[in-house]
Structure 1
Amino acid sequence: MFPFRPILLLLPLGILLPSCEQQSAKAEAKPEPIIHEDLGDNQLPGAPSTFLAAADQSPVHWQRWDPDILTRAKDSQRLIFAVIGSSRYPGCFEAMRVIDDRASIVRRLNDEFVPVLVDLDICRETSLLASILSPETGQAVSFPFFLVISHEGAPVTWQPLQYSSPEDVLDFFDNSLDVISRLWNDPEYVLSDSASKIQLRKSRLPKPDPRVNEPEDRLVAFQTGIRRINSFYDEDIQTLAGAGGLFPFGLLDALALASTSDALPESTTEKSQEALNGILGELLNSAMIDPLDGGIYPSRRGNSWNLPSFHRNCATQARAARVFARIHSLTGHPGALEVARKAVRFAEANYRTQDGLFSLTGKPASAPDLEWLWTEEQLKSTLSENEFNLWKQLSDIRSLGNLPSEAAPTGRLFRLNSLRIQRPLNQAAERAGLSRNEASTLFESGRKKLLKGRDSRMAPPRPDSNPSASANFRMVSAYSALFTATGDRSYLDRALALGKKCRTAFAGTRFLNERPGESAEVMSDGRAFTYTLATQAALDLGAITLEDEWYQWARDMSTLLGEHFIIDGERLVEAREASRVVDLNFEDRMMTFGESTSGLLRINLVRLGALGFQIPPALRPWAESLPDLRSYPIVHTDVLRALALETGNAIIVVGNKAPAEMRERVSTLPLECYVRRDSETAGDAIEVRMADGSRQTVTSLDQLQALVEGQN
């Protein structure tokens, strides 16, 4: 069966255009269009994000993404031309500048369309829609993503854009606007065709995941999924085939849990540990962890971890901190904890706003490209001789460049080097003929010079003053994980303070908002994924404080999710009905941009169930069903995480009169692996309920420590 394609790609142009007589007859029957006053001006001033606010002076009459836009499009008898982008993709800003600078494009967007600018970080469903539609153009998903839709909320045509030069944008508009406008000469055809295609899409949406209720079957699914992931690992090159180009946080997390799981055969845990150590070894020695400022890059460009995509964001830092802190807690892997600490420091230095919350990312001055890389001559001119000799050993600097030729077959990267900590400082010092103390001093002085030099060639992003719900909930979880890994109460204090700020800023009304405000506009109505992040953060706070109010809030968030984001009793959607624009209710099941909504929901449901909360009836299918983990384990590592917790977590009931040092030790156990809750009836004891059903009462810190060490 042929795949769907946009109208413009599917049919020859001659078939699309009606005859002149048809056009004339239809034109006579048309009512006069009603042009709403809003369409005469740019509606982005005061918009709740850097990406949108950057276009608030644009000559294009940009509108906001909310259901009202459908009414304005219907009344004006125009198609909606949506540009979907984000501050996380610098090319989006470049593309917007090209549009603004071409008067003919501006005029046509204003006069012939309803132009809408969409921030995919606020309206997450649009990024998922782009990921579904992009393959039908024969291209990978990229942003900005151009989407034309009818006033009925049905996609008409679309195009992802991988920005590299202004010509990319100009070619699209030069080749497409005329065709789209002529297509709209027969609106009845366009409306009926797009409506029929979206109905066909709905009929072909994947069926709900099958129910797998028996514990034995769920255990087998977990074991099968982990074995399949391990089978993809190549120990010779320390790489997992098919892992993709995103930083593999979910994969690392799943392997860490598997390597310490009692529910897996010993051979599987050993293989999981081997794969975890191998992949970590490659990543920790790569450019994905910046040696100059400690920040983590979200993805790579091409097939080399030494060529990252250069623009970073707060969510990546927070997720890195949580995952690497857990890896340290579970496996004691050397270096993991320092990565977590540096990621949080980077987030605090670059994304914290004046009110103590966190933005998602800043606005880049331009799309960074080769400015991030160095020639050997540039490094020599920036560093002293001894500093250069040390960094040469650390990063394997070469006169012809240290990036593999396959990273850029066109030769663009010839003679360019990326900086990374390829070998430990003591080994680099020995190779450079330096003592350890000399090397430490030279490393720090060289790092500062290199950072200053890079900033002079590639200006850091300008700070964003708009806090992001997803970034803040992730930072709560990052602080919580670092507290469990270190016992440092400053992390607990930061987690708790930020959690309270989040409840005020993003949950001032019954529903969550993607941006602060008690009466947020529909556009920034909280999406389903944000509810799962909020639930995770609340569960983490309950675990480190043993305060039941956070568990209750997690339950409330899950209840709201079940009441307002489930369609037809079986499909989890990103936006509430009151906020949806495109009439396509698909479920986020696969880890396209990180965790999936359904995967993170499953993890939360396991934790809530272990705490003794009843699963909201509408969400029970996600507690009982499973995707195909044998065929697609890598895109479902979040589901494997849920199964790891389901088959192996311990439940700890903490007496509210138990000694303070015992309560604190319980609160610093790894998140999720140990579900803990305060109890008035347990007195001064602690009861540990193991995954195998056994129970043990602990009355001393030594007993507790011995039990935990036995589990780990």
Structure 2
Amino acid sequence: MAVNALGEATSPYLRQHADNPVHWQQWTAEALAEAAARDVPILLSIGYAACHWCHVMAHESFADDDVAAVMNAGFVCIKVDREERPDLDAVYMSATVALTGQGGWPMTCFLTPDGRPFFCGTYYPKAGFLQLLDAVADTWRHRRAEVEQASDGIAGELASMASGLPGGGPALEPAVCDHAVAGVLADEDVARGGFGGAPKFPPSALLEGLLRSHERTGDARVLATVERTLDAMARGGIYDQLAGGFARYSVDSSWVVPHFEKMLYDNALLLRVYAHWARRSGETMARKITDETAAFIVRDLGDGGMFTSSLDADADGVEGLTYAWTPAQLREVLGDDDGAWAAYYFGVTEAGTFEHGTSVLQLRDNPDSLSRFVRARTILLAARLGRPQPARDDKVVTAWNGFAITALVDASVALDRPEFLDAATQCARSILELHVVDGRLRRASLGGRVGDSAAILEDYAGLATGLLTLHQVTGDPEWLAAATGLLDVALDHFTDPDREGRWFDTADDAERLMVRPSDPLDGATPAGASLITEALQLAAHLTGSERYASAARASLAAATPILVKLPRSGGHWLAVAEAAVRGPLQIAVACDPLDSELLDAARQLAPGGAIVVGGAVDSSELLRGRDRIGGRDAAYVCRGHVCDLPVTTTEHLAAALGAPV
């Protein structure tokens, strides 16, 4: 295999390395067999297309002929896209954290030919990387016993870590949710919004859980926490003030300077929260960010009906080149008066907030003239489009498209924007047509060609939730049938037969790795286990399936230790738990779903996690035997298995839901 084999990969990240002099291989049985045949270690490099330091290491080392010669002579070199193979990333990230105390990308791991890691790290500059290569090769040749001892020790540690969280948590009840919320509020950065210090990541799932908690308890402190964070992010440099959409994270604690890559999953998850805030509050900022973020996803990440993965942090190899401004540049584009005016509102200073005297645009204050602000934004965006633009990772990931479907449906309801619903519908249809192969999901595709990597739990769960959300708004049984098909596969292949309520992230018939990943903690994206629990909970009430209901209850019961001990790592668990302790709430409106003010009101008034359907009598499980009353549309409100009397007015529905009209 003495060639670079990445040219036909379905990952743009791998293709970026197809011209390297390194003899990169994809992760295959053949590549591992070559390492065994040559009796050399594997050099495993894991990254992703929007990763700035991945690009730096590629330029410094992987594109260098001298470094490549050392890599090719002493190792079988394997490149992995963490977004295409999250299972491999999870295993070797655990090893990296266990060995070094921290992780990140690019990830650099040295493995035995059977895949056991014995040394791991992240980014290395060229000189240090060459020294490391020599040291590892020498150790492999002359001190093999040390390698075997280290790899055995790491393998044992990974097996112990993979056992999951201990059981024995309390039963799920409102007090558990209240305890988790109190723990989260104690960590709030009240002055700047968000939680913890720099770097600061958008806590999308946590904010959704807190919104649902506020709707249950009415606790004003919880709502204030949510609104402080959502407003601070919306005004900060982490938000693209010209084109919409959020960057991956802020390198400072005040949301000023972002790490500029823009990920589909971040924007979809944040869109869901802002749409929820907009729907329940009507706040101008909430509606603005919902509209602009949905438009960014559709416009800048859309491709053939589906949505691509990310925009790079860099343009022409320079991080933030597209986005940063000086006061002089604003004056040049807008003129002296408007340029100075825009510099004030966008926080562009002579000293700069970023690098080399440039500033990332923020929204320091509400502009004194909206028309002037809109005109300035339009002109600046047009000028910015003339700059070098960040590359786009065109890979389509199943789970993230599922997140986008859910969020776009929510945005369409919050803003009454049918075009967002149309985009979600087209995405769902395209994903099902391309990514379902022989009844099983695949993880990703590129340019209309589906990849070989099997989907993981988050793919089944994220897509199922999107389809169930789409079904509730459209009433189309096609989406319900597709979602339950995915859930049936998940129940058959991802559950742990030895521990009720536990989920594996890979299927029982997937490639066998050192350990079978099973991470129940929510991170940058919700855990597959919390996602599948949400989908099962929705499907249980939409279908009446006790199989789904019992699986959801078992999952939540197994997750209560997270809410008690690690609430900031259980944001999506909190969101699902809040829905569960409310019943979940079900609102079925007997009506013509295309022309019903009562159904529209139900969708606006429903708290997060509620199930809302509309249609004629017997048109769905929740409308069996439920008809209009006296010629008027009727709403049937149930909490779990306990139902109120039906109501026929918006005012009575609001009263039944405890919501303002």
TM-score by length of structure 2 reads: 0.88
The alignment status of 1:171 with 2:127, answered yes or no, reads yes
- Tell me the CA shift for residue 222 of structure 1: 0.5
Structure 2 counterpart of 1:483, from 412, 416, 437 = 412
1:56-75, Cα deviation, whole Å (9 max, x unpaired): 23322211124453333323
Query: Contact between 1:42 and 1:62, CA under 8 Å: does it hold in 2?
Result: yes
- Tell me the CA shift for residue 456 of structure 1: 5.0
The alignment status of 1:248 with 2:203, answered yes or no, reads yes
Indicate the residue corresponding to 2:611 in structure 1: 675
Indicate the residue corresponding to 2:289 in structure 1: 339
Indicate the residue corresponding to 2:58 in structure 1: 96
Distance 1:244 1:100 in 2: 28
Indicate the residue corresponding to 2:230 in structure 1: 280
Indicate the residue corresponding to 1:26 in structure 2: none
Indicate the residue corresponding to 1:507 in structure 2: 436
477-486 or 465-474, which deviates more:
465-474
Structure 1 counterpart of 2:154, from 194, 197, 212 = 197
What secondary structure is seen at the aligned counterpart in 2 of 1:575?
Answer: coil
Indicate the residue corresponding to 2:426 in structure 1: 497
Alignment of 1:294-313 (within 5 A): 294-313=244-263
What secondary structure is seen at the aligned counterpart in 1 of 2:307?
Answer: coil
Query: Contact between 1:329 and 1:670, CA under 8 Å: does it hold in 2?
Result: no
Distance 1:72 1:134 in 2: 24
The alignment status of 1:608 with 2:539, answered yes or no, reads yes
Query: Contact between 1:466 and 1:515, CA under 8 Å: does it hold in 2?
Result: yes
The alignment status of 1:321 with 2:271, answered yes or no, reads yes
What one-letter code is carried by the residue in structure 1 that aligns with 2:178? Q
Structure 1 counterpart of 2:466, from 537, 553, 569 = 537
- Tell me the CA shift for residue 582 of structure 1: 3.8
CA spacing shift, 1:565–1:76, aligned 2, 3 Å: farther
Indicate the residue corresponding to 2:167 in structure 1: 210
Query: Contact between 2:205 and 2:526, CA under 8 Å: does it hold in 1?
Result: yes
Distance 2:78 2:480 in 1: 39
1:97-149, Cα deviation, whole Å (9 max, x unpaired): 33343222222322322211101111112443454344445464221111122
Indicate the residue corresponding to 1:16 in structure 2: none
The alignment status of 1:447 with 2:377, answered yes or no, reads yes
Structure 1 counterpart of 2:177, from 222, 246, 257 = 222
- Tell me the CA shift for residue 444 of structure 1: 3.6
Indicate the residue corresponding to 1:12 in structure 2: none
Distance 1:503 1:487 in 2: 26
115-124 or 126-135, which deviates more:
126-135
CA spacing shift, 1:559–1:169, aligned 2, 3 Å: farther
The alignment status of 1:575 with 2:506, answered yes or no, reads yes
CA spacing shift, 1:103–1:636, aligned 2, 3 Å: same
Indicate the residue corresponding to 2:555 in structure 1: 622
The alignment status of 1:182 with 2:118, answered yes or no, reads no
Distance 1:448 1:583 in 2: 53
CA spacing shift, 1:515–1:631, aligned 2, 3 Å: closer
CA spacing shift, 1:206–1:304, aligned 2, 3 Å: farther
The alignment status of 1:383 with 2:334, answered yes or no, reads yes
What secondary structure is seen at the aligned counterpart in 1 of 2:444?
Answer: coil
Distance 2:33 2:469 in 1: 42
Percent identity (aligned): 18
- Tell me the CA shift for residue 47 of structure 1: 1.0
Distance 2:591 2:38 in 1: 64
CA spacing shift, 1:393–1:691, aligned 2, 3 Å: farther
CA spacing shift, 1:333–1:66, aligned 2, 3 Å: farther
The alignment status of 1:636 with 2:570, answered yes or no, reads yes
Structure 2, unmatched stretches of 5+, are: 614-619, 629-633
Query: Contact between 1:528 and 1:575, CA under 8 Å: does it hold in 2?
Result: yes
Indicate the residue corresponding to 2:76 in structure 1: 114
- Tell me the CA shift for residue 292 of structure 1: 1.3
Question: Pairwise CA RMSD of aligned residues?
Answer: 3.0
Distance 1:367 1:305 in 2: 23
Query: Contact between 1:513 and 1:526, CA under 8 Å: does it hold in 2?
Result: yes
Indicate the residue corresponding to 1:369 in structure 2: 319
Indicate the residue corresponding to 1:157 in structure 2: 119
219-228 or 281-290, which deviates more:
281-290
Indicate the residue corresponding to 1:594 in structure 2: 525
What one-letter code is carried by the residue in structure 2 that aligns with 1:541? L
| Number of positions where the alignment pairs a residue of Structure 1 with one of Structure 2 | 637
The alignment status of 1:550 with 2:512, answered yes or no, reads no
Distance 1:304 1:151 in 2: 46
What one-letter code is carried by the residue in structure 2 that aligns with 1:564? H
CA spacing shift, 1:553–1:389, aligned 2, 3 Å: same
Distance 1:321 1:122 in 2: 23
The alignment status of 1:417 with 2:417, answered yes or no, reads no
- Tell me the CA shift for residue 691 of structure 1: 5.6
1:9-44, Cα deviation, whole Å (9 max, x unpaired): xxxxxxxxxxxxxxxxxxxxxxxxxxxxxx222222
Query: Contact between 1:544 and 1:668, CA under 8 Å: does it hold in 2?
Result: no
Structure 1, unmatched stretches of 5+, are: 1-38, 162-167, 404-411, 427-435
What secondary structure is seen at the aligned counterpart in 1 of 2:242?
Answer: coil
Distance 1:476 1:46 in 2: 29
Distance 2:5 2:240 in 1: 38
Distance 1:169 1:243 in 2: 24
369-378 or 121-130, which deviates more:
369-378
What secondary structure is seen at the aligned counterpart in 2 of 1:610?
Answer: helix
- Tell me the CA shift for residue 512 of structure 1: 0.8
The alignment status of 1:357 with 2:293, answered yes or no, reads no
CA spacing shift, 1:193–1:295, aligned 2, 3 Å: closer
Distance 1:706 1:123 in 2: 48
What secondary structure is seen at the aligned counterpart in 2 of 1:634?
Answer: helix
What one-letter code is carried by the residue in structure 2 that aligns with 1:394? Y
Indicate the residue corresponding to 2:631 in structure 1: none
CA spacing shift, 1:219–1:705, aligned 2, 3 Å: closer
What secondary structure is seen at the aligned counterpart in 1 of 2:565?
Answer: coil
Distance 2:376 2:592 in 1: 53
CA spacing shift, 1:486–1:289, aligned 2, 3 Å: same
CA spacing shift, 1:171–1:317, aligned 2, 3 Å: same
Query: Contact between 1:183 and 1:190, CA under 8 Å: does it hold in 2?
Result: yes
Query: Contact between 2:187 and 2:195, CA under 8 Å: does it hold in 1?
Result: yes
Indicate the residue corresponding to 2:8 in structure 1: 46
1:297-356, Cα deviation, whole Å (9 max, x unpaired): 121113330101112122222222211101112333331122111112112222222x22
- Tell me the CA shift for residue 480 of structure 1: 0.8
1:210-237, Cα deviation, whole Å (9 max, x unpaired): 25574xx532111111122223335455
Query: Contact between 1:301 and 1:308, CA under 8 Å: does it hold in 2?
Result: yes
